[in-house]
Structure 1
């Protein structure tokens, strides 16, 4: 159930945007991008 709920948040568009933040000109750290996403979705505090 938890993984299904989480997977529903990771659409192709969202995943592309997250990847772009890491691989694009911003060059952010993957952990920073992941944490920001989780915070935005209210999955971590």
Structure 2
């Protein structure tokens, strides 16, 4: 767990922003695949 009173320098904040971006992109890709699969299964009956 992160301590709320911890001070972050710019390098640490930059690293966390990259991690957050990668995690967000991963969630977006997974949800996109899920939605596409739902649409295909409704349209084509897979």
TM-score by length of 2: 0.34
Larger relative contact order (C-alpha < 8 A, sep ≥ 6)? Answer: 1
Instruction: Identify, as 1 or 2, the structure richer in helix.
Output: 2
Task: Pick the structure with greater CA Rg.
Answer: 2
